[in-house]
């Protein structure tokens, strides 16, 4: 499975009302080019904060929040998993796309191979943990996770190497404004 395939499945399945927080670099840019939506919050800097932002949204919102980040991003803020496991929001799905590389840079290796993320996620308190290796597994497990009301961690192995012609996301205040307009307006309806 490639990054593009994983993101396409997630973006096709995710409900319209679900916030999606996506880590910086090719992850955000690829997601943007597959399916731009008001509740996509694309990170462009602040590497590592994807899951923290998702946690903040999850504790204040009733919607199911999905965070997608790469292994470099997760390793940069690994202690966020402890914060999420402690808080246990039942509306948070934390997805790791793991290619063992800083792929938005020059595919330098990360240390993701030496960590058993499933064990770690269970130890700190995630209630539902899965390792995913193909697209059909991803479709069914992600669909079920959206209905499960459990703090979920999905570890998806992806391949290195993909096309890099993606659109740079430039209007950052617009990302915030339309996200809040969509999410908060909906809460009052």
Which residues of this chain interact with other proteins, rule CB under 8 A? 19, 21, 41, 43-46, 48-61, 77, 79-80, 82-83, 86-87, 172-173, 175-177, 179-180, 183-184, 187
Shortest distance in whole angstroms from residue 4 CB to other proteins: 25
Shortest distance in whole angstroms from residue 159 CB to other proteins: 28
Measured from the CB atom, the residue of 1 and 89 that comes closer to other proteins is 89
Closest C-alpha among 82, 74, 71, 91 to residue 146: 91
Closest C-alpha among 122, 15, 109, 33 to residue 71: 109
User: Given phi > 0 = left and psi -120 to 50 = alpha, else beta, which region is 173?
Assistant: alpha
Measured from the CB atom, the residue of 77 and 148 that comes closer to other proteins is 77
Copy the structure tokens of residue 151: 């703090």
Shortest distance in whole angstroms from residue 20 CB to other proteins: 12
Shortest distance in whole angstroms from residue 65 CB to other proteins: 8
Cα separations in angstroms, 149 against 26, 88, 125: 29, 10, 14
Closest C-alpha among 133, 158, 107, 131 to residue 2: 158
Measured from the CB atom, the residue of 44 and 127 that comes closer to other proteins is 44
- Burial (CB < 10 A; 0-12, 13-18, 19+), residue 33, is middle
Measured from the CB atom, the residue of 85 and 99 that comes closer to other proteins is 85
Shortest distance in whole angstroms from residue 83 CB to other proteins: 6
Shortest distance in whole angstroms from residue 45 CB to other proteins: 3
SS3 137: helix
Measured from the CB atom, the residue of 52 and 130 that comes closer to other proteins is 52
Q: Rounded CA gap, 28 and 22, in Å?
A: 5
Measured from the CB atom, the residue of 100 and 104 that comes closer to other proteins is 104
């Amino acid at each position: 499975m490639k990054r593009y395939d994983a993101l396409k499945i997630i973006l096709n399945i995710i409900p319209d009302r679900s916030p999606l927080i996506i880590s910086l670099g090719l992850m955000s840019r690829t997601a943007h080019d597959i399916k731009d939506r008001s509740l996509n919050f694309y990170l462009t800097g602040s590497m590592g904060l994807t899951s923290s932002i998702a946690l903040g949204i999850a504790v204040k919102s009733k919607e199911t929040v999905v965070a997608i980040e790469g292994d470099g991003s997760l390793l940069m803020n690994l202690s966020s998993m402890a914060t999420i496991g402690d808080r246990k929001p039942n509306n948070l799905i934390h997805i790791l796309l793991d290619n063992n590389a800083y792929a938005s840079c020059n595919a330098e290796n990360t240390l993701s191979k030496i960590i058993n993320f499933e064990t770690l996620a269970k130890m700190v308190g995630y209630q539902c943990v899965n390792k995913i290796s193909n697209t059909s597994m991803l479709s069914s497990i992600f669909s079920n996770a959206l209905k499960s009301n459990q703090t979920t961690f999905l570890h998806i192995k992806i391949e290195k190497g993909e096309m890099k012609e993606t659109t740079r996301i430039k209007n950052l205040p617009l990302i915030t404004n339309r996200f809040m307009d969509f999410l908060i307006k909906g809460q009052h309806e």
